[in-house]
Amino acid sequence: MSDYRIGLVLILILVSGAVAQGQGTCDITYFLTVSESDDVLRTVEASSMTVEESIPLSISGAFEIDSVRGLAIDPVSGLYYMLGVGSLPPNPPTDVPILFFYDPVGLFTNPLGSTLLDFNDLAFLPSGDIRAITNVLPTTSQVNFCELNLLTGGPTDLCQFPTGDCGESIAIDGSGQLFRASGGCAFGARIQVPDPVGATPCDVDTVNIDQVLIDNPVRTVTWWEQEQGFVWAIDDVDNSIYFLDLAGNATLLGTADHAISGLAIITVQGPCPPADDLFIRGDANLDLGVNVADAVFLLSSLFVPGASPLGCRDAGDVNDDGGVNVADAVFLLSSLFVPGSAPVPFPSILDGCGEDPTADAQDCLTTGCP
């Protein structure tokens, strides 16, 4: 084999190894949640529903919150806005509906003022204007849809829904389209598309949704821009959270260890979670590269007493015939140094980390893949 061909093979191996290692960073989605039962802002890793952080929102002696309803992120400032029920000294301790925000950079809470009405949820337009919806108001038996003042918390009425039920919630998509979810007590839960501009009462079109959502009261609904659908929390004993697509189909995302009355979504860059079913075929020593050292490791694991065993037998099954033996070491060396030899099957070093497309008895106890 010419020096040129050997050099080209080594370059390909090094470049491919760098690509594979570059897969160590992933988009990780978190649900920010609040509850009517306490004053805590929780950060929940979405794929596992694990609470990774809990932040009390009350300010001792200055701003006491008994419960929190609704949670939305200002697309302009990045602040987390919420509706609280609590007290604002020097006023006497009493249950006052309050608009406040939490600054995730400065790590502080700031109350803005009373919303006057009994609001249950809020959402932001892409412009940074905030919208909110009340519970059923006892004085009118209606549900009000309003704009809130981001300086004082005061409401400006936009329109009213003539009938309401438990679980009033709103969501706004990336284009500014408003959705209202409600029900599950006096009637089945539903989602509607309001047209509040100049309309009193609010004009709505009702969208058909999955029966599992209809049969349970709504806790909160949030638009998930990345997935083009809704995250829908229902009021059941399991605190179930569903994804609802625009065709009305619901998929269970998981269950929470707390009741959720408000939810927002953030996505951040972080280390990819471990995935034992991902591997690079031929990477016997799990260093995310494929070279002669892997052939040596493979042969040692087969024939040298006391040698390290294969952590991933799928990676050692280089020719993908469902077994691990000396033929795999020969296949690997041929693919590296013999012109015209058969390439290593998927997932090879050129493919990066992947799952085994072939059903066999080999598996991975550990993996070098992120």
CA-CA distance, 359 to 356, in Å (whole number)? 7
Q: Average pLDDT for residues 186-214, to the nearest whole number?
A: 85
Average pLDDT, the chain: 88
* In the predicted structure, residue 125 carries a pLDDT above the cut 50: yes
pLDDT for 140-188, tens place per residue?
889 999 999 999 999 999 999 988 888 899 999 999 999 999 999 888 9
Q: For residue 305, count CB atoms less than 10 angstroms from its CB and return exposed for 0-12, middle for 13-18, buried for 19 or more.
A: exposed
* In the predicted structure, residue 128 carries a pLDDT above the cut 90: yes
Q: Do the domains spanning 3-24+274-337 and 35-271 agree at the CATH topology level?
A: no
- Which pairing describes strands 80-87 and 64-73: parallel, antiparallel, or unpaired? antiparallel
pLDDT for 53-110, tens place per residue?
999 999 887 889 999 999 999 999 999 999 999 887 776 667 889 999 999 999 999 9
Q: For residue 163, count CB atoms less than 10 angstroms from its CB and return exposed for 0-12, middle for 13-18, buried for 19 or more.
A: middle
Residue 302, C-beta contacts closer than 8 angstroms, at least 6 positions apart: 324, 325, 326, 329
Which of the residue ranges 32-46, 187-201, 285-299, 355-369 would you say has the lowest mean pLDDT? 187-201
Q: For residue 136, count CB atoms less than 10 angstroms from its CB and return exposed for 0-12, middle for 13-18, buried for 19 or more.
A: buried
Cβ proximity of 216 and 166 under 8 Å: no
CA distances from 160 to 118, 146, 198, 367 (A): 14, 9, 11, 57
Residue 304, C-beta contacts closer than 8 angstroms, at least 6 positions apart: none
* In the predicted structure, residue 274 carries a pLDDT above the cut 50: yes
Give yes or no for a cis peptide into 89 (omega within 30° of 0).
Answer: no
Q: Average pLDDT for residues 290-303, to the nearest whole number?
A: 95
Q: Average pLDDT for residues 108-129, to the nearest whole number?
A: 95
* In the predicted structure, residue 273 carries a pLDDT above the cut 90: no
- Give the dihedral of Cα atoms 21, 22, 25, 26; nearest 10 deg: -100
Cβ proximity of 296 and 303 under 8 Å: no
- Per-residue burial over 324-346, b = 16 or more CB atoms within 10 Å of its CB, e = otherwise: beeebbebbbbbbeeeeeeebbe
Q: What pLDDT, on a 0 to 100 scale, did the predictor assign at position 23?
A: 43
Q: What pLDDT, on a 0 to 100 scale, did the predictor assign at position 140?
A: 85
Of 26, 31, 76, nearest to 230 by C-alpha is 31
Q: For residue 258, count CB atoms less than 10 angstroms from its CB and return exposed for 0-12, middle for 13-18, buried for 19 or more.
A: middle
* pTM attached to this predicted model: 0.70
Q: Average pLDDT for residues 248-271, to the nearest whole number?
A: 92
State phi, psi for 330 to the nearest 5 degrees: -65, -45
Q: How would residue 251 be classed by pLDDT, with cut points 50, 70 and 90?
A: very high
* In the predicted structure, residue 16 carries a pLDDT above the cut 90: no
Residue 122, C-beta contacts closer than 8 angstroms, at least 6 positions apart: 70, 71, 72, 81, 82, 83, 99, 130, 131, 132, 133, 148, 170
Q: Average pLDDT for residues 23-42, to the nearest whole number?
A: 87
* In the predicted structure, residue 9 carries a pLDDT above the cut 70: no
Copy the structure tokens of residue 262.
């408000």
The full set of domain ranges for the chain reads 3-24+274-337, 35-271
Cβ atoms within 10 Å, residue 138: 7
* In the predicted structure, residue 214 carries a pLDDT above the cut 60: yes
**Element containing residue 14 per DSSP (H, E):** helix 3-21
The most confident of the ranges 266-270, 277-281, 341-345 is 341-345
Cβ atoms within 10 Å, residue 289: 20
3-state secondary structure of 4: helix
CA-CA distance, 354 to 344, in Å (whole number)? 13
Q: How would residue 252 be classed by pLDDT, with cut points 50, 70 and 90?
A: very high
Could you tell me the strand order of the sheet in which 240-245 lies? 218-224, 229-234, 240-245, 250-255
Tell which wins on pLDDT, 122 or 63.
122
Instruction: Choose which CATH entry (2.30.30.110, 3.20.20.70, 2.120.10.80, 3.65.10.10) describes domain 35-271.
Output: 2.120.10.80
Which of the residue ranges 26-40, 270-284, 303-317 would you say has the lowest mean pLDDT? 270-284
Q: What pLDDT, on a 0 to 100 scale, did the predictor assign at position 230?
A: 97
Q: Determine whether domain 3-24+274-337 maps to CATH 3.30.450.20.
A: no
